[in-house]
Amino acid sequence: MKKIRFLLFTLLALFYVTNANALIVGNRFERDGITYEVTAMEEAHDGLPKRFNVKFVSSTKAGEVNIPAKVKDYPANQYEFDVTAIDNNSTVPNATSVVIPASVTTIGANAFQVGHIESIEIPATVTDIQKGAFSQMKSLKEIKVAAGNAKYSSDGGVLYEMEGTKKYLAGYPIAKPDANYTVPEGVVGVRTNAVQGALNLTAISLPASLKELPATKDGNGFASCKKLTAINVNSANTTFKSVDGVVLSHDGKELVAYPCGKRGVINPAYDLTSDPGAEKGNVYKIPDGVEKILEGAFTSVEYLTAVELATSTTTIEKGAFTNMRNLRDVKIASHVASIGDGAFFGDIMLQKIKVDAANTTYKDDDGVLYDKAGKNLISFPAGRAGEYTTLNTTENIKPDAFRGAAKVTKVTLNTGLKTIGQDAFQQTKALKTINFGNPSTLEEIGQSAFWGSGLEKVELPASLKKLGTYVFKSNANLKKVTVANGSQLEELSDRTFESCNNLETFEFLGTNSLKTIGTSAFGGDSKLVSFKIPKGVTNIKTGAFDGCSSMETVTFEAPAKVTTISEGAFQGASALKKIELPESVTTIGKDAFNKCKSLKEIVIPKNVTSIDPTGFQECAKLEKFTVDPANAVYSSVDGFLLSKDKKVLKAFPPAKAGTYYTLLPPTIEEIGEQAFYYVQELENVTIPEKVKKIDKFAFDRVAKLNTIAFLSKVPIADVDPSAFNPDNVDKSKISLSIRKDAAAAFNSDAFWNQFPNRLVSFDVETNGVGNGVTEFFPLSQKAVMVVDVKADVFTYVVPAKVKNAGDSNKEYEVRLWADYGLQHAPANVKFEEIVFRNQLDYVGLEAFEKKDGSSTVKRVFFTCKKPAKDMSATKWEYGNAEHEFKSDLKIYVKKSVIDDYKSVAGHEHAGWNRYANQIEYKIPYYVTSAAAPAAAPKPFIKKKYGTFAREFDTDFGSYFAEEGKGKVAAFVTPISGVESGPGDYGHSTYMVKMSSIDLNGGAANDYSYIPAETGVLLKVLETEALPVDFYYTIGEKDDVTYSITGNMMTGIVVKDQIITVGSTPVYVVSGNKGIFKKARTGSLNMPVHKAYAKISGVPAGAKIAFVFDDGTEATGIEAIDSFIICSARLPSGRFAEHFLPIPILKNCGIFLNLS
């Protein structure tokens, strides 16, 4: 059934935008089974009220569709809209009834299509019902109007409209069962399409009062009524009369309306002999005296195949014979002097328009209608197939000339052509090629000229100066558009290439004059890959590239002049990865880059003064904003978009949302409007200490947010009610993480108490019972930050994981070391070393310094393979004014990753390179003092044997691997108990056999690798002493958990330890003598990083003295009957040791048997 073309445009416009989450006018969203389209989003201004309106578009709901008066956008729930209109061509396919709310003022054309609605009531608030509003409601039998409506009324289920004192028939129910209907007296007119498509109506009678029967080129008041055979006029009517059911003017000079279902006279002369199944020759002869056939007079007539003009007929108005289903014979007589535009468009059976040769105004070119001079092509028969070349004399192709010509495949335009009129080639679906002439002189293409055509390629000529709106809209096959060098075109008008779903390339081939890219000019062109904005463009209008989901690059030709990136200009450009805006840009509008899902970086130039809070929403991969330092309004730090003074967070780059933590710049005092809006992967966020305000919708639609950590101990008081939009944010699913001494303040705060769940910082003794606690602060459900240390140790160990005993032993990873992490440490915290056994991600400012700037920390060991990605001073762009580490701090890392730590490349955040000279992998194992400075160190093992333990895996084979000397083996486990018998050297009564660590659960085939916290006996294998420059390294095999079996050695880690010597003898090694000595019963102060042995079964009675590895002796400990340690090579190539207690001889050394 025929529909008004304009309404069809409205149906398709912006249809590709559905369920938009950040809205602009024209976007659609669905809620509760109903789709709406945004028509207004205006805050109150200049004395005008706020206007946030939508119109009803469609519903798939079954049964009753109850349209609400107000609706919030979905899923955003951010705006509340008034439902004020019913859209053109709205659909309700499953509805049996619909309730229109009292908020509605406008009902569009062809509303509520397809459904099963038999009755509808118009609210009293409705003031505008478009022509043909209910003409597609196939089941509608009755139209009611609520009491109090001053403009509309119902009479017998038929809709009438008052315009001042005039009454019009406005809507006839399409399924009203009556075959005849009489328009009551007093009605002065029938609106266009008022009785459109009536299914049962065969005759309608018009009253004597009727004065107006308006029509358009697309239709009259009775279009598409297939059974209507007579339109009768009361004989007393002085404006119109009816002749055989056809309406004429009262004087008979104008034919006004022909009933769509009325047949003419059967005339075999008009039969289509080539198609026996075609409609037989069915002819209507225009009555004598008719001079003019009015606009839309024969629109959609079903059966006529020919119309014979009267000799009196001189004028055929525009659209007079449009969309006639079977019209195939048109002959323009010699007396016809005026034919309106589009008089014959859409007549799909018409193949020729024949003009009498004697006609002085018109002629035809093989059935194509021209004016006599051949300057104006007026009408191309819609049923004609194949190719066509315009006459060389053609200057203008008139509006609607080729409209609906569904079989034409190629048109070649002549040089000399100047204009193509509105709708000229609309719906030419088979048209693949249009040649604009060479050289082309074409200057203008009118509105919708090629709307819905089948063009595959368009080459716009340089001569073209003006493109109307919608010109190439919905060209589904169009792949490439080029604009010739020297183009004079200044504007790509609104929706020019909208919904060209296969358009891949648009290119200016040289210089051009373009200044404006219009609203939705390329909207919905989902395959357009790139676009170069010409340098003369000053304005990119609303939604210009909205929905260009394949667009990967946008470049601006220099020197660019564009100043405004308007509302939704690049919305939905989901393949766009980076865009650098030119310096000319001053304004970035609402939703300008919304839903650019691949965008990783946006460069903000120096002259930008306005960025709408919604400008970059739903850009899930956006990592950073980079703002020109010269910008006076905005700045960026670590990719965050900030105000110039760095106090307001304007926008959060969604890709910065971390699983373990999400830190914000410490300078911010305010979290701005919509700063985190729709950051879907945001699980946690840490609010800096200075923040005092959270603005509206700041954390709206953060679906995964489960933790908010507050560095401040004072609750933020200024929080907008919409900051955590209650329609979208479930506060019961978000835990507030607070410092333990801030719990009372947050629990008593009226706003923050709406969040019932708490995570509270907690203390754990991670470095041994009684050695002091560490406070850990949860920044997420997975990770904690070290915020305070009270551990009294020599080597402080940061564990990989920690459990909160106060929260059901919830386990966290230790990922961060806070800014100023030791500034609140008590005076007894003087550790010299820190070992990070975790994957540290963040290192804070002045990490290991006291309040006075001093630090006892001399060495830091990072055992993780990845450098911390966030170095605070670099991350927050403090420059050299701040630091994490003091310049004299030694930093030790694994050999395999030292280059990663020292270099800038490959780091998510640079910063380690500034400490490159402090980073080393070689850990010295020698003694320096005033007497033996670093330039002349003493070896740590001077007499063959020593003991060792460390807080991390170590490799004592690295030195040998690199230097070819200094081979060391680690021994741990006695092969047997104390046995009687002689040793290999001297005289002894007892012996102990001992095997290397790799035989007892250590690293396979590596007797020099020592797992963390494992005490060992070290033996220098090939010399008596270690080299004076010996070093060991952090073990590379710490991804394995080792279980050392039967270890008789106990390591001392973290700090010196008081050992209570009981019934089992305790043995230590003399550094000067390289022998084990037995400790006296009582307490023994064992130094850190050494080890002692417990050997049960050794006979008592020896007087002993305890000697440290540096050779000094402790008081009150007496000398021992000593023993020798002997070694035997096993068949495997590893070593076994024999501890042989024997009297010390003056020249006795350590005997090594390598046989």
Per residue in 728-740, pLDDT tens?
Answer: 999 999 999 999 9
Of 113-117, 492-496, 631-635, 706-710, minimum mean pLDDT range: 113-117
pLDDT at res. 937: 59
**What values do phi and psi take at 775, rounded to 5?**
-95, 125
Q: What proportion of the chain, given as a percentage, has pLDDT over 90?
A: 80
pLDDT at res. 719: 98
**Using CB atoms within 10 A of its CB, is residue 439 exposed (0-12), middle (13-18) or buried (19+)?**
exposed
Of 418-427, 639-648, 1045-1054, 1123-1132, minimum mean pLDDT range: 1123-1132
In which element (H, E) is residue 8 found?
helix 5-12
R_g (Cα) of the chain, nearest Å: 45
pLDDT at res. 1137: 42
pTM of the model: 0.81
pLDDT at res. 1073: 63
Using 50, 70 and 90 to split pLDDT, how confident is the model at 1075? low
1079 and 1065 Cβ atoms separated by less than 8 Å: yes
Of 3-7, 518-522, 638-642, minimum mean pLDDT range: 3-7
List of E strands, 351-488: 353-355, 362-365, 368-371, 376-379, 386-389, 396-397, 408-412, 419-420, 433-435, 444-445, 457-460, 466-467, 480-483
pLDDT at res. 16: 38
Residue 558 pLDDT > 70: yes
148 contact partners, CB below 8 Å, separation of at least 6: 124
pLDDT at res. 144: 98
Which whole number is the average pLDDT over 860-867? 95
pLDDT at res. 881: 87
Q: Is the peptide bond before 613 cis (omega within 30 degrees of 0)?
A: no
How many residues are there in the chain?
1155
472 three-class SS: coil
997 three-class SS: helix
Residue 84 to residue 126: CA distance in whole angstroms: 9
Which whole number is the average pLDDT over 760-778? 96
Q: What is the pLDDT of residues 437-483, one digit of tens each?
A: 999 999 999 999 999 999 999 999 999 999 999 999 999 999 999 99
Of 281-295, 335-349, 902-916, minimum mean pLDDT range: 902-916
Residue 905 to residue 899: CA distance in whole angstroms: 10
666 three-class SS: coil
Of 387-401, 819-833, 1053-1067, minimum mean pLDDT range: 1053-1067
Residue 891 pLDDT > 80: yes
Using 50, 70 and 90 to split pLDDT, how confident is the model at 54? very high
759 and 738 Cβ atoms separated by less than 8 Å: yes
975 and 1136 Cβ atoms separated by less than 8 Å: yes
579 contact partners, CB below 8 Å, separation of at least 6: 554, 570, 593, 599, 602, 603
Beta bridge partners of 315: 292, 338
Using 50, 70 and 90 to split pLDDT, how confident is the model at 1100? low
CA dihedral 172, 174, 177, 179 (to 10 degrees): 70
1146 contact partners, CB below 8 Å, separation of at least 6: none
Say which DSSP state 712 is in: S
Residue 160 pLDDT > 90: yes
140 and 134 Cβ atoms separated by less than 8 Å: yes
128 and 159 Cβ atoms separated by less than 8 Å: no
pLDDT at res. 219: 87
Token pair listed for 515: 């200044």
Position with higher pLDDT, 75 vs 909: 75
Which whole number is the average pLDDT over 642-669? 97
Which whole number is the average pLDDT over 616-640? 96
Which whole number is the average pLDDT over 809-816? 98
Position with higher pLDDT, 988 vs 880: 880
Residue 989 pLDDT > 80: no
301 and 324 Cβ atoms separated by less than 8 Å: yes
Using 50, 70 and 90 to split pLDDT, how confident is the model at 10? very low
Residue 1007 to residue 1018: CA distance in whole angstroms: 10
856 and 888 Cβ atoms separated by less than 8 Å: no
953 and 1037 Cβ atoms separated by less than 8 Å: yes
Residue 4 pLDDT > 90: no
pLDDT at res. 973: 86
Domains, the chain, in order of start with CATH, read 21-174 (3.80.10.10), 178-350 (3.80.10.10), 369-512 (3.80.10.10), 515-644 (3.80.10.10), 657-744 (3.80.10.10), 761-920 (no CATH), 945-1108 (no CATH)
Q: Which residues of 1062-1087 are buried (b: 16+ CB within 10 A; e: fewer)?
A: eeebbbbbbbebbbbbbbbeeebebe
pLDDT at res. 1122: 34
pLDDT at res. 1110: 32
Considering the chain, what is the average pLDDT of its residues? 89
Residue 1132 pLDDT > 70: no
Residue 42 to residue 51: CA distance in whole angstroms: 5
Which whole number is the average pLDDT over 996-1008? 96
Using 50, 70 and 90 to split pLDDT, how confident is the model at 977? low
pLDDT at res. 22: 67
1077 and 1067 Cβ atoms separated by less than 8 Å: yes
pLDDT at res. 926: 64
**Using CB atoms within 10 A of its CB, is residue 980 exposed (0-12), middle (13-18) or buried (19+)?**
exposed
Tracing tokens 């299914």 back to the chain, one arrives at: 199
Using 50, 70 and 90 to split pLDDT, how confident is the model at 48? confident
Position with higher pLDDT, 607 vs 944: 607
Tracing tokens 């558009």 back to the chain, one arrives at: 481
Which whole number is the average pLDDT over 569-574? 94
- DSSP letter string over 999-1049? GTTSSTT-TTEE-TT--EEEEESSSSS--TT-EEEE-S-TTS-----S--E
Q: Is the peptide bond before 439 cis (omega within 30 degrees of 0)?
A: yes
Of 21-30, 512-521, 535-544, minimum mean pLDDT range: 21-30
Residue 1026 pLDDT > 60: yes
**What values do phi and psi take at 796, rounded to 5?**
-90, 130
Beta bridge partners of 407: none
Say which DSSP state 556 is in: E
Of 800-814, 830-844, 922-936, 1011-1025, minimum mean pLDDT range: 922-936
